[in-house]
């Protein structure tokens, strides 16, 4: 079959399935119809899409931590602890499972049993199998999402969705470029078309499952327009396969105006492009990630970064905020540290949620700028794909039209270089091959120049390095010392 942005025909999907389920013994446990029945019996307050809708209606920001450990009981206990203060919960998958290295995941489970504590950086859901995943849903009182970073996440999706998870993070671009080195983009997009089609089939069976492309990408100085463009492409790919509940994401940049503008523009752009491409009748929400780059080691300082993220999420009116912890710079957090991050965020989001309206007028110019950039890039992607978004995405990465700063993938050009301006907004230092118009280029150059003058140095790569370290060293703009 051709590689293109077209709904996978049922015959083809059914033909692929045995191979997917056969990749690891637990795959045999999957029974789609039984899964659908289980979902139908799920109470409302365990359903992710319901929680998202309610939050937007009530203008509340949902709080979601990341969390996953090697063993089932410990994992459930962890989520139960976090459920005290979090609105929706995660099951974060370990990094071996993300690479489909189930043998190594098994070693990690075994060694964790011996060590008496988790040696894995997440919950190896595939190895644990369907029954274990089901237990999570049954014993945790709130909606649970699978959060990972898996380029081929087909088996993981089959297992966890059948088990009753009601939201699934990732996408063919956002779980490839920042998370892998060599996986071809066409391969990961195809594999994610499978996942989205699976979600579409649940939808057709009356079971709504939320899908969330991973917004922050490399988490490091990603300009909003680039992550927005990719989020919208992943949204289009998902809609085509029948997904009907989408949460588009964005990782905090650090500048108040840019971040608020980013969330507003993300919603507006998504609606525009989805409509223009002929999709209606879907549920759209946004997720704001607290600072995804390097954190300060000191826990009090980490609390400040966490709180600022929560503040901006609330002021921007995001539907959901992904919460960091005071242990971020050091290692996977204990349950207590994780809960602390949620509590700090809870305080600040509920303190600020009534002040959303105040900044809208102010951020309008930045909204317009982001829109213009995204529209330019998306048009170029569509052209590259001769009208097809799947082909367009692959070709755009090859050409550097889409380019994610600091991503590890060899399929990413890595020519686009971001840098902060004098107020800490992320601008472009080197445009690489991204086809921005001349006015936009002039704007970025002027902003970077302004900072360079303030610092008495030429725009240079050291500036970018300084910006990478800045928040972990207690600044936003990486000024020379």
Partner 1 sequence: MSTHTIVLGVIGADCHAVGNKILEAFFTRAGYRVVNLGVMVSQDEFIDAAIETGAAAILVSSLYGHGEIDCAGLRDRCLERGLDRILLYVGGNLVVGKADLAATREKFLAMGYDRVFPPSVELDEVAVLLRQDLAAKDEGR
Among the listed residues 293, 310, 326, 405, the single contact to ligand B12 using CB under 6 A: 293
Torsion over CA: 39, 106, 115, 298 (sign)? negative
- Determine the Cα–Cα distance for residues 61 and 124; give it in Å rounded to an integer: 29
Burial of 304 from C-beta contacts in 10 A (0-12 / 13-18 / 19+): middle
| From the list partner 1, a copy of itself, ligand B12, none, partner contacted by residue 66 (C-beta under 5 to 8 A by kind) | ligand B12
- Determine the Cα–Cα distance for residues 468 and 395; give it in Å rounded to an integer: 29
| From the list partner 1, a copy of itself, ligand B12, none, partner contacted by residue 101 (C-beta under 5 to 8 A by kind) | partner 1
Output the six-digit token pair for 189. Answer: 């997009």
Q: Is 420 helix (H, G, I), strand (E, B) or coil?
A: strand
Question: Using the rule CB under 8 A, is 296 a contact of a copy of itself?
Answer: yes
287's enclosing H/E stretch is: strand 283-289
Checking DSSP bridges between strand 417-420 and strand 426-430, what pairing results, if any? antiparallel
The residues annotated with a catalytic role in the active site are 98, 169
Output the six-digit token pair for 14. Answer: 């059914």
Closest distance to partner 1 from the beta carbon of 336 (Å): 11
| From the list a copy of itself, ligand B12, partner 1, none, partner contacted by residue 423 (C-beta under 5 to 8 A by kind) | a copy of itself
Candidates 73-81, 236-244, 286-294, 452-460; binding stretch for ligand B12 (CB under 6 A)? 286-294
- Determine the Cα–Cα distance for residues 147 and 136; give it in Å rounded to an integer: 14
Integer Rg of the chain from CA: 21
Question: Using the rule CB under 8 A, is 95 a contact of partner 1?
Answer: yes
Kindly tell me which of 28 and 181 has the beta carbon lying closer to partner 1. 181
Kindly tell me which of 95 and 132 has the beta carbon lying closer to partner 1. 95
Q: Which of residues 197-256 bind a copy of itself (CB under 8 A)?
A: 254-256
Closest distance to partner 1 from the beta carbon of 291 (Å): 14
Q: If you ran DSSP here, which 8-state letter would residue 9 be given?
A: P
Closest distance to ligand B12 from the beta carbon of 169 (Å): 11
- Determine the Cα–Cα distance for residues 174 and 232; give it in Å rounded to an integer: 11
Q: Is 63 helix (H, G, I), strand (E, B) or coil?
A: strand
Residue among 208, 214, 163, 221 nearest 188 (CA): 214
- Determine the Cα–Cα distance for residues 250 and 257; give it in Å rounded to an integer: 14
Among the listed residues 149, 151, 424, 435, the single contact to a copy of itself using CB under 8 A: 424
Question: Using the rule CB under 6 A, is 304 a contact of ligand B12?
Answer: no
- Determine the Cα–Cα distance for residues 127 and 189; give it in Å rounded to an integer: 24
Candidates 247-255, 274-282, 406-414, 439-447; binding stretch for partner 1 (CB under 8 A)? 406-414
Total of residues contacting ligand B12 (CB under 6 A)? 26
Among the listed residues 100, 340, 409, 412, the single contact to a copy of itself using CB under 8 A: 340
- Determine the Cα–Cα distance for residues 322 and 174; give it in Å rounded to an integer: 16
Kindly tell me which of 20 and 332 has the beta carbon lying closer to partner 1. 332
Closest distance to a copy of itself from the beta carbon of 298 (Å): 6
Among the listed residues 123, 274, 397, 406, the single contact to partner 1 using CB under 8 A: 406
| From the list ligand B12, partner 1, a copy of itself, none, partner contacted by residue 279 (C-beta under 5 to 8 A by kind) | none
Q: Which of residues 117-136 bind ligand B12 (CB under 6 A)?
A: 121-122
Candidates 32-40, 131-139, 193-201, 404-412; binding stretch for ligand B12 (CB under 6 A)? 404-412
Question: Using the rule CB under 8 A, is 334 a contact of a copy of itself?
Answer: no
Question: Using the rule CB under 8 A, is 343 a contact of a copy of itself?
Answer: yes
Checking DSSP bridges between strand 167-169 and strand 144-147, what pairing results, if any? parallel
Strand boundaries in 379-459, DSSP class E:
417-420, 426-430
Residues 201 and 32 sit within 8 Å (Cβ to Cβ): yes
Question: Using the rule CB under 8 A, is 331 a contact of partner 1?
Answer: yes
Residues 21 and 28 sit within 8 Å (Cβ to Cβ): yes
Binding stretches for a copy of itself (CB under 8 A): 254-257, 296, 298-301, 303-305, 307-308, 310-311, 315, 339-341, 343-348, 350-352, 354-355, 357-359, 361-362, 422-424, 471, 474-477
């Amino acid at each position: 079959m051709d590689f293109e942005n077209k709904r996978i025909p049922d015959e083809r999907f059914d033909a692929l399935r045995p191979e997917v389920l056969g990749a690891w013994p637990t795959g045999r446990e999957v029974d789609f119809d039984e899964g659908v029945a289980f979902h139908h019996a799920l109470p409302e307050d365990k359903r992710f899409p319901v929680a998202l809708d309610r939050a937007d209606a009530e203008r509340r920001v949902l709080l979601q931590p990341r969390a996953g450990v090697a063993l089932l009981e410990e994992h459930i206990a962890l989520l139960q602890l976090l459920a005290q203060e979090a609105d929706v919960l995660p099951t974060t998958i370990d990094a071996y499972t993300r690479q489909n290295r189930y043998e190594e995941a098994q070693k990690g489970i075994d060694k964790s049993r011996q060590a008496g504590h988790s040696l894995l950086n997440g919950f190896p859901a595939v190895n644990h199998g369907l029954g274990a995943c089901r237990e999570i849903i049954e014993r945790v009182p709130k909606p649970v999402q699978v959060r990972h970073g898996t380029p081929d996440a087909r088996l993981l999706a089959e297992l966890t969705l059948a088990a009753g998870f009601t939201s699934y993070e990732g996408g063919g671009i956002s779980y490839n470029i920042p998370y892998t080195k060599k996986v071809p983009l066409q391969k990961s997009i195809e594999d994610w078309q499978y996942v989205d089609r699976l979600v579409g089939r649940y939808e057709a069976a009356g079971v709504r499952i939320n899908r969330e492309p991973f917004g922050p990408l490399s988490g490091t100085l990603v300009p909003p327009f680039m992550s927005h463009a990719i989020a919208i492409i992943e949204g289009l790919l998902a809609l085509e396969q029948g997904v009907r509940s989408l949460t588009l994401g964005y990782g905090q940049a650090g500048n108040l105006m840019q971040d608020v503008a980013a969330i507003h523009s993300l919603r507006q752009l998504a609606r525009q492009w989805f409509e223009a491409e002929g999709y209606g009748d879907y549920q759209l929400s946004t997720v704001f990630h607290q600072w995804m780059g390097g954190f300060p080691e000191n826990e009090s300082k980490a609390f400040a970064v966490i709180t600022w993220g929560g503040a901006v999420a609330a002021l921007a009116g995001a539907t959901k905020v992904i919460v960091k912890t005071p242990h971020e710079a050091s290692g996977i957090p204990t349950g207590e540290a994780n809960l602390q991050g949620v509590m700090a965020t809870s305080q600040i989001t509920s303190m600020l949620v009534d002040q959303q309206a105040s900044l809208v007028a102010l951020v309008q110019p930045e909204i317009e700028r982001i829109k213009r950039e995204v529209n330019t890039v998306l048009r170029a992607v569509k052209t590259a794909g001769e009208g097809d978004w799947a082909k367009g995405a692959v070709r755009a990465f090859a050409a550097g039209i889409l380019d994610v700063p600091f991503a590890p993938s060899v399929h990413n050009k890595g020519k686009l270089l971001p840098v902060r301006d004098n107020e800490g907004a992320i601008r472009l230092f080197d445009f690489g091959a991204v086809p921005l118009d001349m006015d936009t280029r002039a704007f970025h150059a002027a902003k970077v120049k302004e900072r360079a003058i303030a610092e008495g140095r030429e725009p240079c790569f050291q500036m970018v390095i300084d910006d990478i370290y800045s928040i972990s060293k207690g600044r936003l703009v990486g000024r020379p010392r």
